[in-house]
């Protein structure tokens, strides 16, 4: 079995975050850095990576920038080796990198669909394989797959992304069973996220008449980051659902998927557009925060409507304490009832 989390934290864990140049990856890297961890930042966009490294260091962590395209298995292996050589191993690997296209399926070209699949799904597979190569010999470490409510429930206009997230879900379940069978100290877990205020809606390729936006309610990326950091410390748990909207969507899909199909057919097209006739230019083939781009940071343009926290996410992270509180509360109520009867 691996060393306990507390022992690792005294020395600063060696953490890899893919897609770390912006959005959820950026917020997650900063959350690990705030705990004093050493954070390897993997992504394509050099402008975003440089800014992320500066923020990690100012937050109290140690940063290692490793530019890489996650669809390149050899490059991912080389990146993992560089991290292990620099940090002395890998304790946590967070698979967060993705690509997407906002368009009806019939308007997505085969090459675009393949590219989304290679970055989002195969990037996760290649990242996991690279992480296990360093974790399994040490019999410790945690791989966190960053998922979405869309890993269970597909929605219109995001067929390639939804397909990739569904694939990650199945892949992770298979791997989890294999690790359990082997009695391994290495853990894998998955965090299913809600709609988030990230820059992706300004850089994902879009062919919609309106400007791409997340389906409300929208949460700040720090909500996701807290859940991911918690999952890395508690990898025995199978998965985490973040946000009340995620829980509602997954439960509705389990109970009445046909009705949800019809609801999304009626409402999800308009809900993913803000009405302005401006589509994203796309970072599918080259990063929007590359040499000729700019740093986008962790937040998108939806700060005014985004929620900074989620009671459901807190309960998910603290279900032991919440359960104990319920037990104590029930005991107090029972004692009062008995007293009144007496």
- Helical spans, DSSP H, in the chain: 5-11, 23-33, 46-58, 73-87, 110-117, 123-135, 159-182, 200-203, 221-233, 244-255, 257-271, 311-317, 319-341
First-to-final CA distance of the chain = 53
Of the candidates 121, 152, 161, 240, the residue annotated as catalytic is 161
| Structure-token pair, residue 158 | 């995001």
DSSP output for 34-63: TTT-EEEEEES-HHHHHHHHHHHHHTT-EE
| DSSP SS3 for 317 | helix
- Is 161 catalytic? The answer is yes
Element (H, E) at 15: strand 14-18
- The Cβ-side half-sphere exposure at 31, using a 13 Å CA radius, reads 23
Q: Exposed e or buried b for every residue in 96-134, given b needs 16+ CB within 10 A?
A: bbbbbbbbeeeebeeebbebbbbbbbbbbbbbbebbbeb
DSSP output for 128-144: HHHHHHHHGGGT-EEEE
Q: Which DSSP category does 4 fall into? A: P
Judged by phi (left if over 0) then psi (alpha if -120 to 50, else beta), residue 243 lies in left
Hey, CA dihedral for 131, 133, 136, 137, is it positive or negative? negative
- Residues with a catalytic annotation lie at 161
């Amino acid at each position: 079995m691996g060393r306990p989390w507390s022992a690792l934290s005294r020395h600063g864990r060696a953490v890899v975050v893919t897609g770390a140049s912006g959005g959820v990856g950026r917020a997650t890297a900063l959350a690990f850095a705030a705990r004093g961890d050493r954070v390897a930042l993997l992504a394509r966009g050099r402008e975003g990576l440089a800014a992320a490294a500066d923020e990690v260091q100012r937050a109290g962590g140690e940063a290692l920038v490793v530019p890489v395209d996650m669809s390149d298995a050899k490059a991912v292996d080389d990146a993992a080796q560089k991290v292990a050589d620099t940090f002395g191993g890998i304790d946590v690997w967070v698979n967060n990198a993705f690509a997407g296209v906002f368009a009806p399926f019939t308007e997505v070209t085969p090459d675009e669909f393949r590219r989304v699949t290679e970055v989002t799904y195969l990037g996760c597979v290649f990242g996991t394989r690279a992480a296990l190569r360093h974790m399994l010999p040490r019999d410790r470490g945690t791989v966190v797959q960053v998922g979405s409510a869309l890993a269970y429930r597909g929605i219109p206009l995001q067929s390639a992304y939804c397909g990739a997230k569904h694939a990650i879900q199945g892949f992770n379940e298979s791997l989890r069973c294999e690790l359990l069978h082997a009695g391994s100290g290495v853990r894998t877990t998955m965090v299913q996220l809600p709609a988030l205020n990230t820059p992706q809606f300004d850089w994902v390729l879009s062919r919609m008449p309106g400007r791409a936006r997340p389906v409300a309610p929208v949460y700040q990326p720090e909500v996701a980051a807290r859940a991911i950091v918690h999952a890395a410390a508690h990898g025995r748990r199978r998965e985490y659902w973040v946000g009340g909207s995620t829980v509602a969507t997954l439960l509705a899909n389990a109970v009445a998927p046909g009705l949800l199909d019809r609801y999304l057919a009626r409402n999800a097209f308009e809900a993913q557009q803000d009405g302005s006739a401006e589509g994203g230019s796309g970072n599918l083939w080259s990063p929007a925060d590359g040499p000729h781009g700019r740093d986008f940071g962790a937040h998108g343009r939806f700060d005014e409507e985004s929620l900074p926290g989620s009671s459901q996410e807190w309960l998910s992270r603290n279900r032991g304490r919440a359960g104990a509180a319920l037990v104590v509360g029930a005991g107090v109520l029972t004692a009062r009832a008995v007293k009144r009867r007496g």
